[in-house]
């Protein structure tokens, strides 16, 4: 009985997830509690990456007294050397299928008609004067980052009181670098565009078993989650141990009877 209790305890303690929290750096200055923001006389552009796997949240504020347009078709996220368009070029189809079937001896004839509407999923690039547009465009979705070996492990106490394993990177050493390329225009036909090219890189990663609710939300930080399989393995062992214990218990009870 004691052995089974220990196995069940191990099963409960081994189940869980590993979380990595990645902090980003950029040539863009950080404002408003780690939010990346850059501006000129025309526009202010801000980035927020907080959330699972790094959602790319872009806010564009139009400072002008005339409309401003973002040409999303000519804007993109560049990860490494790979371009990912900010526009969703997929088309949504809402349709219903009506069909009939005719049987004649050993032959079968079928016909069907699809009636529906195709709707392009495109972002709106129109920003009225003295207003802003907020878009959640893409998600970074990097793989888990490698941490130093046990011999080089570094620990730190976070402001929330949690001890975490962490590592830092320079720009040259960063395991993940990406750019946000935006095209804006003050003309409705998107002529005479102005381009903005903003670069970001992962400069720090810390790892812990604590979920995002444990830490303060920061626009320059996102998290990755890895589910541990240890609990499932121990659960199998626990189940097997339970069967063995039950058989042993029955045998001992039968001998006493």
254 lies in some domain = no
CB 47 within 8 A of CB 31: no
Closest to 21 in 3D by CA, of 50, 42, 48:
50
Number of domains in the chain: 1
62 lies in some domain = yes
Specify the 3-state DSSP secondary structure of 203. strand
Region 167-187 average pLDDT:
96
251 lies in some domain = no
- Does the pLDDT at position 31 exceed 80? no
Q: What is the pTM of this model?
A: 0.72
pLDDT for the residue numbered 227: 85
The residue ranking higher by pLDDT, 116 or 208, is: 208
Q: Burial code of 78-89, b = ≥16 C-beta within 10 A, e = fewer?
A: ebeeeeeebbee
Beta-bridge mates of residue 226: 18
CA distance 160 to 170: 25
57 lies in some domain = yes
CB 145 within 8 A of CB 175: yes
Count of all residues that appear for the chain in the document: 257
**Lowest model confidence (mean pLDDT) among 78-82, 129-133, 217-221, 227-231:** 227-231
The residue ranking higher by pLDDT, 54 or 159, is: 54
pLDDT (tens digit, 9 = 90+) per residue, 112-122? 666 665 544 55
Q: State in Å, rounded, how far the first CA of the chain is from the last one.
A: 20
Closest to 54 in 3D by CA, of 228, 202, 216, 214:
202
Q: Print the domain residue range for 22.
A: 17-86+133-227
Region 10-30 average pLDDT:
78
Specify the 3-state DSSP secondary structure of 122. coil
Asked whether the CA dihedral 245, 250, 254, 257 is positive or negative, the reply is positive
CA distances from 217 to 19, 163, 165 (A): 15, 17, 19
């Amino acid at each position: 009985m004691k052995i089974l209790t220990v196995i069940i305890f191990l099963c409960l303690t081994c189940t869980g997830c590993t979380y990595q929290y990645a902090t980003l750096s950029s040539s863009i200055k950080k404002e408003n509690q780690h939010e990346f923001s850059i501006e000129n006389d025309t526009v202010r552009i801000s980035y927020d990456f907080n959330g699972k796997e790094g959602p790319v949240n872009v806010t564009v504020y139009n400072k002008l007294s005339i409309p401003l347009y973002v040409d999303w078709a000519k804007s993109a996220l560049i990860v490494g050397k790979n371009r990912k368009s900010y526009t969703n070029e997929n088309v949504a189809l809402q349709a219903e299928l009506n069909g009939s079937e005719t049987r004649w001896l050993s032959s079968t004839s079928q016909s069907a008609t699809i009636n529906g509407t195709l709707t392009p999923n495109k972002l709106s690039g129109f920003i009225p004067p003295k207003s802003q547009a907020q878009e959640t465009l893409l998600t970074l979705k990097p793989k888990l980052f490698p941490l130093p070996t046990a011999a080089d492990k570094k620990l730190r106490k976070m402001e929330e009181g949690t001890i975490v394993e962490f590592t830092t990177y320079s720009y040259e050493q960063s395991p993940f670098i990406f750019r946000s390329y935006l095209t804006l225009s003050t003309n409705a036909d998107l002529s005479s565009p102005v381009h903005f090219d903003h670069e970001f890189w992962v400069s720090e990663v810390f790892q812990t078993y604590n979920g995002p609710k444990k830490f303060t939300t920061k626009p320059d930080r996102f998290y990755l989650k890895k589910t541990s399989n240890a609990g499932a393995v121990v659960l199998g062992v626990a189940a097997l141990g339970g069967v063995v214990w039950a058989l042993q218990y029955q045998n001992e009870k039968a001998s006493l009877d």
